[in-house]
Structures are given as C-alpha cells and as structure tokens.
Structure 1
Amino acid sequence: MATIKDVARQAGVSVATVSRVINGSPLTKSDTADLVKRTMRELGYRPNAAARTLVSKRSRAIGVVVADVSDPFFGSLVKHVDTIAHRQGHHLLIGNGYHEAAREKQAIESLIQNQVASLIVHSKALDDDTLRAFSEEHGAIVFINRLIPGLEGRCIFLDNYRGAFLATEHLIEQGHRYVAYIGSSHPIEDTVQRQQGYEDALNTYRVTDKTHPVMMAFDTPDETGGERAMAKLMADNPNLSAVFCYNDIMAAGAMTALTDRDFRVPEDVSVVGFDDSLIARYLHPKLTSVRYPIEEMAALAAEQAIAVSSQQPMRDEKGNYTPTLIKRNSVAKPNE
C-alpha cells in the first residue's frame, strides 16, 4: 500500500506539501496541488483520518526558527513573537538552527511538516535560493534579520553596516586612534557587515596607517569568546585604547578581560557593544551600545506572518530598520 512518503517521492515534493494538499490548504500552488492529486490517484493512495485532521490541529501555530533560543538576543526575539501570537490566539513551535545550513533546513522542514500556519525564520547559513524555495512551498513565511532579493516584502532587517560605522565613528570622535574590533567567528553576513562598517569608519576618518593599524580578533559570539579575543588584542596591541564589539555579550567578556588585567573601563580602554540588550544596562560601567530594535522587529514579523496565513493584508510598514547609538558610561576620551 502506498504511503504519503511514496507520493511525495513520486511527485518530487515534500511530505509537508502532500499533507497540505490532502487538507486543502490555500498555501499550496494550484499546479503543485494538481500534481500531488494526480500522483495519489496513480499510486492508489488514500489518506487516513489522522492525516486529514493534521492541519486543523496546527492551524493556530506559528513556527519560529532561530540560531539558539538560549542566546539572550534570540530569547528576546521569541518572547516578543510569543506576545503577539498569544494576543491573537496562536501558539509557538520553536526550532534551533545554530547557524548551520543542515540544522536550519531541518528545523524549517520539521515545522512545515508539523503544519504550522505561519513561519518566522532567522536563517544565516542557508542560501537565498533555498529560502526562496521554502517561501514558495509555504506561503506564510517572514524572514527576520535577512534581506532576500525578490522577497523584500517578507523581510525584516537591520542595517548592520550602519550600526558598526556609528559605533566606530563615536570612538574616533572621542579622540581614539587605536580602535580595535572584536568580531564573531561565525561565517555569517552580520559578521562581514559589521567588520566592514568598522573598517570603513577608520578609513573615512583616515585613522589607519602604519602607526595606527586595523586591529581585529574573532571568536565565538559569547562572553568567553569576547574575553579570549580581548586578551589576544591586548597582548598584540599594547597601545589599544578602544574596542568595538560584535555584540553586548562579547563586550561583557571583553570588559572582564580588561578588569582582570587591571585596566579600567573607560578610563584606560573604552568599550562599545551591539544590540543594546538588557545586559548593557546592568554592566559596570553601563555599556554604550548600538540599539538593535529586536522587540519591534519580532512583533512586526509575528503580525505580518499571521496576516499572511489568515489571508489578510499585511501592514503597510517597511521592514528595514535603522540602528541608533545608545550612549552610556563605557566610553571616555583617551588618556594622553
């Protein structure tokens, strides 16, 4: 007897697509639905009652794919999606992708197979074509922290380059000439964009030369990574007076490395983070940081995804956000 997997294999589609056709989902293209129905007839496949009730059981579910829900940044993203979802009578199913293409693909496919009504995807490892294919397969997908050509209306993202430029510019304007960058070792576009913003700010203000070189160190984007990267920078660059960090958590690790070596922040070394997460307000000194408005972005993503899944018009609101610099107490003029 033919199974749903046999139908999917013969038709060249996913099991989730066959399930949606069985349940009459409006998110499946008509030509794809016709192909699946024809294949079911050819194979003599008869869906059972359990398969027919699958969509109704998941029709109020929102799937959310993030890198790692234990990371405070992604925890905040999920929390604010959940707030909107709860308000509109939906519930969440969560998948972790860990910035790995295979894991991200697996997480998305798993949520689609669980018949979520809509999807919010934070993907950095999968290529644009793969994400476009998922968008065609499941019509109610919204991408966050990603700009995909051709899907601009489904993308909500921040100008990472601009944020990094602002952070580095602020340190230069305070008089710093030995400005370092601590970046993430993850091979994702955020890392490239923030590094480029840092380098371009140095070049714009003509800070770099033989006596004021570009100083960078890369490690895991967490406290330990920030601590290791800062230790390496200090060992290699004794004149360093300021550092811009990939995120606030790495900045916290960098500050620990500095204070453990009897350097004062900001009197000896100024520090700027990125995200303006909760930790920025509770470090000592309070951390100057580039604000990443993840609360607003996550809420918009949830509202847009629910609207699409309900066949309602999306909010007429642009998904591109501009970063701002939140000045606190971790930056001072350099010692002369």
Structure 2
Amino acid sequence: MQNNKLKHIALRDWIKDRISDSTFKYGDKLLSENELAAQFGISRQTVRQAIGALEAEGVLTRVRGSGTYVAALPVAEKQKTMNIGVITTYLDDYIFPPILNGIDSVLLENGYTMNLSITNNKIENEAKVLRNLIEKGVDGLIVEGTKSAFPNPNTYIYKEIRRKNLPCIFINSFYSGLNFPYIALNDVKAAEICTDYLVKNGHRKIGGIFKSDDIQGHLRYSGYCNELKKHGIDIDERNVMWFVTEDLNELFAGDYDKSIDRRLGCCSAVVCYNDQIAVRLIDTLKRLGKNVPDDISIISFDNSNFASFSNAALTSVNHPKKQLGIDAAQHMISMLQNDNYDWKLLYEPILIERNSVKTISHP
C-alpha cells in the first residue's frame, strides 16, 4: 500500500484493481473486515470507510448476515444479443433526437435493437445504466460521456469493458486516459472559426460562456483562446464565464443578471457554449435593455432549432446530429465484425451565418 495515499483510498483502489484484473469477479465474496485489516495493517474503521465508499459507487454490495460481495460488471460469456446499449446525457428536443434517430436507423437495417438509457449528466446514473445494460446483455455500447471534463469514478467499469473486448464508442465527448474510439465535432477548430469570424467582423472585446463539466467546454475555450492569441488580442478572464450542469437554470433565472452584465456587458460579442446558452443569454440581455446584434453580437454551436427560431437568428456552428448517429452505428457494426478499436472521427466544423453578429469598426 502506498504511503503517500490515504489508507482507505489505497484500499479502495486495490479492491477496484482486483476487480479489473478479475481476481475478484462479480458475485465473489470479499474478504472480511478483520482479514483486510490484518492483511494491510490498518484499522477496521479504515476498512469500513473504503468499503462504504465502494458501496456508494455500486462496486460492492453488503448482504446482512452474509458479508460483502462484488457488484460490478456481471459480463457473461459472449453470446449474440443483437442489442446495442446507447447511453446519452439527455433526451429532449435539442440535438439528441436526430442523433438517436441516426443510430436506430442503421441498427435496424443490420438487425440490431437500440437499448437506450439516459444519465441526466450524473455520474451515479452512468454507473447504474452501465451495469444494467451489461447485466441484460448487449453486443456493444455507444456512450455520450457524463461530466467528461472531470475525473470519472466509473473508469474502472470502462477498463473492465475494454478488457473484455466489449465494443464501445464515445460520441460528442471522451474521457481522458481511456483509449476508446470516439466521434465528435472538432470543438477546438469550431471555436477558432467562431472567434475568427467575430474578429473579422470588427470585434476585439470578445467574451465567452463555457461549460466546465464537459470536455467540449474546455476544447471550445481552448479554440477561443487560440484564435484571440492569433489575432494579438489579450485574453481577459473577467469576460469569461463558466457553468456546470446543475447551475444552468440558476445562472439565467434573473438573480445573476447584474453579474452577467458586469462580466459580459462591456463586450461587443460573446462566444456561447451552445445554442441553448445563447438563447438564454439573449433573454438576459433583453432584461438588461440590450439587443442582439445591435448592442452585442452572439455566436454559438450546434445549429439547433434554437438557432433558427430565436428572436435573433443565431450564427452557429453546425453539429452533424443525425449523421453522427449514423456514423456511430456504422462504426459499431464494423467493430462487431473486425474488432478494430483504434480510431477516431472528428467532423470539420461548418459555420451557418444568420443575423446575430453585427459588423462593427474598431480603433
């Protein structure tokens, strides 16, 4: 056990590693608290702390009067189920229905059924749906990562999935440190195109709103910074706002209008994480007496229905939507046939121009 780690964390990681390498298998009874305490020279309280954490994650389950058992990944011997598990963060009227439609159409053509689960961008939900799909039996997984910018406690499940050669494709995002194939928009380049477009329309004071818990937000921020630097424009962190999934509604509810005005009101343009954010920002600016694009320009990502039906029709980078779903399903069929797990597909961004960006002159 490593001295530089808290003892209960070290024990927790040791148990996860033993599950990952199949020393402990699904349904196996764990060593008793006394046995673990003696083996690692730690107290029973420390053992209980580690086991309690793994119970909370769903890795272990305690049976009263019997003991503690491994509750992760009951992957049976490979048998064709003709089911593909599909996990997305949300299911609403944004970009998700066309993605799912694309996946489903290809799977049906090839005799497969889509088994859909939603995480609502919650880590604990991701763990539950992964285990549920694997227990039911699926031939492969198409996954949109949950809070993909943060360290993920479900990594051990994905490592086990990879070890068992269960085909898995990530869409829209990916987890750092996990070598799975993925399909996504080139988010860095997309943000570079957006920022360059604003600069070429005379804007120099360009703010941004980005999502901190999904990797797309970090990649888009990176592209935004790249392009500002390219044009010799200083990056002013006072004009950049970050949000997480849970804070979104609160951010635009009205109580933060003054804060938004203080951070972004001095900008001539704002790069928004996606069309949903752009539309909410437009409503906030309207409450503050500012109009888009006359007073401030807005540019965003996804080219969703929000973009075309907004009061100020949004200039927005197109998201491939249905094509992404089609490509994900086609690659899944290919992986089932030839076990090629070493690839990625990035879509080149295309900017759809509408009327949310105003051309201005600058000194």
- Bin of the TM-score, shorter chain as denominator length: 0.7 to 0.9
For residue 40 of structure 1, what is the aligned residue in structure 2? none
User: What are the ranges of 5 or more consecutive residues in structure 1 without an aligned counterpart?
Assistant: 1-5, 27-54
Q: 1:183 touches 1:246 (CA, 8 Å); kept in 2?
A: yes
**SS of corresponding position for 1:10:** coil
Deviations 1:256-289 (A, max 9, x none): 1122333221111110111111221221221101
Which one of the candidate residues 337, 340, 348 is aligned to 1:322? Answer: 348
Matches within 5 A, 1:205-224: 205-208=231-234, 215-220=239-244
Aligned length: 290
Which one of the candidate residues 27, 32, 39 is aligned to 1:9? Answer: 27
Deviations 1:17-76 (A, max 9, x none): 2xx22xxx25xxxxxxxxxxxxxxxxxxxxxxxxxxxx6xxx232211111223623333
The alpha-carbon deviation at position 306 of structure 1 amounts to: 3.0
In 2, Cα distance between the equivalents of 1:239 and 1:321?
33
Identify the structure with the greater helix proportion: 1
In 1, Cα distance between the equivalents of 2:276 and 2:216?
15
Deviations 1:232-271 (A, max 9, x none): 3323454321111001000010111122333221111110
For residue 189 of structure 1, what is the aligned residue in structure 2? 215
Q: In 2 relative to 1, CA 231–168 (structure 1 residues): closer, same or farther, beyond 3 Å? A: farther
Which one of the candidate residues 139, 144, 147 is aligned to 2:166? Answer: 139
Q: 1:274 touches 1:289 (CA, 8 Å); kept in 2?
A: yes
The alpha-carbon deviation at position 10 of structure 1 amounts to: 3.2
Which one of the candidate residues 209, 229, 234 is aligned to 2:261? Answer: 234
Matches within 5 A, 1:1-336: 8-10=26-28, 14=72, 16-17=74-75, 20-21=76-77, 25=78, 59-70=81-92, 72-123=94-145, 124=148, 126=152, 130-137=157-164, 139-147=166-174, 151=179, 154-184=181-211, 186-208=212-234, 215-220=239-244, 225=251, 232-309=259-336, 311=337, 319-334=345-360
In 2, Cα distance between the equivalents of 1:199 and 1:227?
28
Q: In 2 relative to 1, CA 261–149 (structure 1 residues): closer, same or farther, beyond 3 Å? A: closer
**SS of corresponding position for 1:217:** strand
In 2, Cα distance between the equivalents of 1:326 and 1:107?
36
Deviations 1:142-164 (A, max 9, x none): 22123566745x32122211111
Q: What is the TM-score of this pair, normalised by structure 1?
A: 0.75
The alpha-carbon deviation at position 334 of structure 1 amounts to: 3.1
Q: 1:178 touches 1:213 (CA, 8 Å); kept in 2?
A: no
In 1, Cα distance between the equivalents of 2:300 and 2:314?
7
Give RMSD over aligned pairs: 3.2
